Each structure stands twice: as structure tokens, then as C-alpha cells.
Chain A
Amino acid sequence: MLRYALKRLLSLFLSLAVASLVIFLVVEVAPGDPASFMLGVNAQPDTVAALRAELGLDQGKLARYLTWAAGMLSGDFGTSYTYRTPVAGMIADRLWVSLPLALYALTLSTLIAFPAGIYAAARRGKPGDMAVMGATQLGVAVPNFWFAMMLVLIFAINLRWFGAGGFPGWEAGLWSGLHALTLPAIALALPQAAILTRVMRSALLDILGEDFMRTARAKGLTRNQALWRHGVRNALIPVLTIIGLQFSFLLAGAIIIEQVFYLPGLGRLVFQAISSRDLIVVESVVMLLVFAVITVNFLVDLAYALADPRLRSRS
């Protein structure tokens, strides 16, 4: 197990290094010099040169990559070109909105998908199953930002149960924070819940045909008892992978949903940064998202290996 974990850890670091290099190189080819963009067209050449030196833009590409990468390792993401404040601090502030939103949505999607998937599998081919499957078919077809607009129309504008957007900040209390994130989280969770329901159902259906399920039935368990005691537990492996994958999609999807609800999260930060050509912020946010995806997948792989010894020997 330790050897497997070390091997995976090595490949994790390698992936992160390559990803950071790719991001850096892509942003490097961007036309336009941030220093002259910041100072406007009438800037004196020596002012531009001074700012370039201040931002470290006069150094070679390799030196700048190494500074950026080494900085990130120590939590220093550089200084924003536009705001002149540390990027790490800006990201940390926004992360306090985006991360809880993604986790909230993940919780909701799991809470919906588990019972729905188990219910559908237990009633395979019956009307209940068909209704659930029809709903999931619709769920994956609905764009989450459109669903978000409909939620605002119904629950914020007409019923006035929630605000139409904005975020009071966690200082206003846990309850008002969660209240403000509820509609966004529901919108974000819907398509993911539909996918997860399908995975749960199909994983369970695969297991229902296994010998140990027949044994469980032969032992005298009812169909539902066998399903709960032996089926659900074994179905968790494929379901866990999808949950891991979903987390990264939720974090990226939050970027769009934040636009609908005017939430001050990573999404708004990155769009503001794009329009002001604050490339170091774009670079860092993208790196953070990619880091999250790669790390979560690594953790899922590790969790697998713990749960299923067969997977350890295979790789």
C-alpha cells in the first residue's frame, strides 16, 4: 500500500509540475505587455520599463516560471497587476465563497442521488424507475445557469423566500451565508445529481447480478435487505469516482453560477482579471482549479486502493 501511495504521489507532483508549465507557457504567448496595458498608451518608455522591472517582467521566461512556481509552493502567488495586492489574499477571500458553494452543491447532489438511485435500482423496469430515469434524462439536459435563473424567478422574485443574488459574507453569520448560497447550490447540484443517480442505479444493477447477492438472498435476506447490506456498500466504489470527478466540475461550474447570483467568488475574480488583463490572477486561479482537480483525483485513487486491495496490485 505504501509503495502504491508513493508511486501515485510522485505522479501527482509530476502532473502538477507539467500543468503549471503548460499554464505558464499559454499565458506567456498572450499578446500585449501587462505593464504598458496598465499605464495606458501615453506612458513614457522609462516608466513602462520601471514598472516591468517592478513586476519582474524584465527577467527571462525560465527565471519567471521558477519564481512563480516556487512562490506558489510557499503560498505566494505574486502581486496582482491591477490591484497591487497579493494574489494569494484575493484568491483566499473568493475561495471562502466558491469552496463552500461547491461543497454545499456536492452534499445536495449526493443527498438527492443516493436515495433516487437506490429507489430506481430496487424498482428496475417499473414505473418508479422509469420516472426517475426520465427525470435524470431531463436533469442532464438542463443548463445549470438557466435553471438558476428560473430558481431566481420563482423563489426570489415571486415567492421572495430568498434574495435574488449577492452574498452577505460569513461575518453575517453561518445561517445567512448558507441561506444566500442555497439557490446557487441547488442550481449547481441538479445536473450532477442526475448523473450521480444514473451511476448509483447502474452500479447497483451490476451488483445485483453478483453471486454474493444470490448468497445473501439464499441466506434468507429479503431483496431490500440484501440491497442495503451488500449492494449499496459495493456500489460505492464507482460512485466515489464520480463524486471525485464531480467536485472539480462543481468548482468550475461555480464560476458560471456565480455570475447568475452576483456572488463574489473565484468566477467573478477571474472574469474581472480577464477584462483588465491581470494575467497573473488568471494564471493563479486556473492553477488552483487544476490543482484541485488533480489532487481530488489522487485522493479518490488512494481511497479506492484502501477500499479494494485488488486495485493496488494492478498498478
Chain B
Amino acid sequence: MTRNLILGAVLSSLVLLAAAVSFLWTPFDHAAMNIPAKLQTPNAQHWLGTDHFGRDLMSMIMVGARTSIAVALVAVGIGMGAGVPLGLAAAARKGSWLDELIMRGNDLVFAFPSLVIAILITAVLGAGAVNAIIAIGIFNIPVFARITRGAALSLWEREFILAARVAGKGAARISAEHILPNVMNLLIVQGTIQFSLGILAEAGLSYVGLGAQPPTPSWGRMLADAQTMVSFAPHLALVPGMAIILTVLGLNLLGDGLRDYLDPKLRVARA
């Protein structure tokens, strides 16, 4: 299954590269309007064509990649940063009120799909990329908490943890020094998957106007703009759509490949 890993790594690196290069160079200024050159299909000058304002789609896709990556990455960071310690704590105190509280809290957050969290936050704070990050991030917390707790629980039964306890280490130290390194692989794999889900969620939120706001280019926003023009300029929808699909596909393949590569025991079909 290294084929998945390679294909996934190549696709993901391409997107990261496009985003990184966009800080230094884009074929055109992504915001520069050029009405005479509007709605061009892909050609030698504009590789991916131009939109209704004559803006270069390739440049917009490259800069838009930054928004997608930034939102999804920070959202994964929030989910891991809060979810992993919660999961470790719940596993260390299995069956206690703390465990119960954390797990019920998780159930509660799970009842709010990220779109619903986004709607609530937008209603209160207004639309924007930061609020999209918060919405996706909050939704990620129970995902990481649950997966960490599950993996940590089975580790707590193992002899090497018993040895660490006999050596006098406390629960917090065992969690940090022995449990965490052993669940790391699982977290990396889940992180990749949540990253790809974050890209999709960001695109959806921007599409309905709850994510990044107009001057900031974003793939979802580009699709929203393309919608009324899809009948005579389908490339406006095809280009950002393909960018999203290839990115998400790449990250998913990378996640699958990493899982097989990092731990053959985990070779179970993902739900």
C-alpha cells in the first residue's frame, strides 16, 4: 500500500508547495482585475483561465490554498491541543467522575455538527475565517479526545505501564512519557484525516458565506461566485472544485498510507 502513501504525499506536497510559492510569486496579482481579459478558458497566458473580473484563476487558486491550509491546520491544532490532553486524562482516571464528565462533554459537542457550530458562532460574532477555524476546531476536539482515550485505555493494561507505576511515576508523567508516544502514530493518521475534513468544511462554510470574507481568496468563495456563471463558464467551477478534490484526495491517501506504514496492526478498513 505504499502506492497510496506516495500518491498522497505527492498530491499533498503539491498543494503545500503552491501555497508556499504564492507568498513569493504568482503568475499574476491574484486581486488584479482585467475586464478585457474576463472569462477566458485555460490558455498559454492564463494557465487555468480568468474569472468574470479577468482575475487569473491560477493565482487565485494558489493564494486560496493558503486560506484552506491555514484554517484546516489551526482547526486540527485546536482539536489536538484540547482533545489529546482530555483523552489522556480520561483514560488515566478511567471510570471516575472526570472520565464521565469528559466523555459526556464529548457526546454533547458531537451533537453539534461543525456547520451548526459555525452557524451559531456566525450568528453571534459574524462571519470570517477565524470563526470558521473555531467552529471546525471545536468539532475536532471530541474526535481527538475519543481516539486518544480509546488507545490509551488499552495501553494502561500493558506491563510496561505497570512497570512505570511500580517505579513510582504518577499518572500525569506516565501519560506524557509512555502513553503519548505510543498513541502518536494514531494521532498523526487521524490528524491527516481531520485536516482533509477541515479543507472540505472550510470550503463549505466559505461557499455559504460563513467563512473567509471577500478580499481573502478562498476556494469555497470562488465556487460561490462561479455558481451563477456555470452555464457559460464551467471552468470557473471546475478549477476550484478540482483543487479541493485533489487536495482532499491527496490527504486521505496520505492518511491511509501513513496508517499502513506506521503500524501494520492498524490495517483495518477505515469507517
B47 at the interface (CB under 8 A from A): no
CA–CA, A279 to B207, complex, Å?
22
Stretch in contact with the other chain, from B19-27, B84-92, B146-154, B244-252: B244-252
Stretch in contact with the other chain, from B51-59, B116-124, B158-166: B116-124
Partner of B123, one of A252, A279, A289: A279
Do B116 and A259 touch across chains, with their CB atoms under 8 A apart? no
Please report which residues of chain A, range 234-262, place their CB below 8 angstroms from some CB of chain B when the two chains form the complex.
Answer: 238, 242, 248-249, 252-253, 255-256, 259-260
B115 CB, nearest partner CB in chain A, Å: 5
Which partner residue on chain A sits nearest B271 by CB separation?
Answer: A199
Q: Could you say which interface size class chain B belongs to? A: 35 or more
By a CB distance below 8 angstroms, the chain A residues around B121 are 26
Do A153 and B237 touch across chains, with their CB atoms under 8 A apart? yes
Please report which residues of chain B, range 141-196, place their CB below 8 angstroms from some CB of chain A when the two chains form the complex.
Answer: 196
Do B120 and A26 touch across chains, with their CB atoms under 8 A apart? yes
Do B268 and A202 touch across chains, with their CB atoms under 8 A apart? yes
CA–CA, A294 to B240, complex, Å?
35
Do A293 and B111 touch across chains, with their CB atoms under 8 A apart? yes
Do A202 and B271 touch across chains, with their CB atoms under 8 A apart? yes
Interface of B is mostly: helix
Partner of A157, one of B116, B124, B230, B253: B230
Do B223 and A149 touch across chains, with their CB atoms under 8 A apart? yes
Do B111 and A286 touch across chains, with their CB atoms under 8 A apart? no
Do B108 and A18 touch across chains, with their CB atoms under 8 A apart? yes
Q: Could you say which interface size class chain A belongs to? A: 35 or more
B173 CB, nearest partner CB in chain A, Å: 32
A143 at the interface (CB under 8 A from B): yes
Q: Given that A195-B271, A198-B269 are known contacts, is A146 also in contact with B115, CB under 8 Å in the complex?
A: no
CA–CA, A147 to B180, complex, Å?
40
Please report which residues of chain A, range 141-196, place their CB below 8 angstroms from some CB of chain B when the two chains form the complex.
Answer: 141-143, 145-146, 149-150, 152-153, 157, 195
Which partner residue on chain A sits nearest B234 by CB separation?
Answer: A153
CA–CA, A31 to B121, complex, Å?
12
CA–CA, A11 to B252, complex, Å?
35
Partner of A143, one of B123, B124, B241: B241
A216 at the interface (CB under 8 A from B): no
By a CB distance below 8 angstroms, the chain B residues around A290 are 111-112, 116
Please report which residues of chain A, range 257-297, place their CB below 8 angstroms from some CB of chain B when the two chains form the complex.
Answer: 259-260, 267, 270-271, 273-274, 277, 279, 282, 285-286, 289-290, 293-294, 297
A15 at the interface (CB under 8 A from B): yes
B81 at the interface (CB under 8 A from A): no
Do B208 and A271 touch across chains, with their CB atoms under 8 A apart? yes
B70 CB, nearest partner CB in chain A, Å: 18
By a CB distance below 8 angstroms, the chain B residues around A152 are 230
Do B207 and A256 touch across chains, with their CB atoms under 8 A apart? yes
Which partner residue on chain A sits nearest B196 by CB separation?
Answer: A141
CA–CA, A238 to B230, complex, Å?
40
Do A259 and B207 touch across chains, with their CB atoms under 8 A apart? yes
- By Cβ-Cβ distance, the 5 closest A-B pairs, closest first, are A202-B269, A141-B248, A141-B249, A252-B113, A146-B241
15 other A-B residue contacts (CB within 8 Å) besides A15-B108, A29-B124, A202-B268: A23-B120, A137-B249, A138-B249, A140-B248, A140-B252, A141-B252, A142-B241, A142-B245, A143-B245, A145-B204, A248-B113, A273-B123, A286-B112, A289-B113, A293-B110
- Can you spell out 26 A-B residue pairs with CB atoms less than 8 angstroms apart? A15-B104, A15-B107, A15-B111, A19-B111, A22-B108, A26-B124, A30-B123, A141-B244, A143-B203, A143-B204, A143-B241, A143-B244, A145-B204, A146-B223, A146-B240, A149-B241, A153-B234, A157-B230, A248-B111, A255-B208, A256-B208, A267-B208, A274-B122, A274-B123, A282-B119, A282-B120
- Interface residues of chain B, those whose CB is within 8 Å of chain A, are 104, 107-108, 110-113, 115-116, 119-125, 196, 200, 203-204, 207-209, 223, 226-227, 230-231, 234, 237, 240-241, 244-246, 248-249, 252-253, 268-271
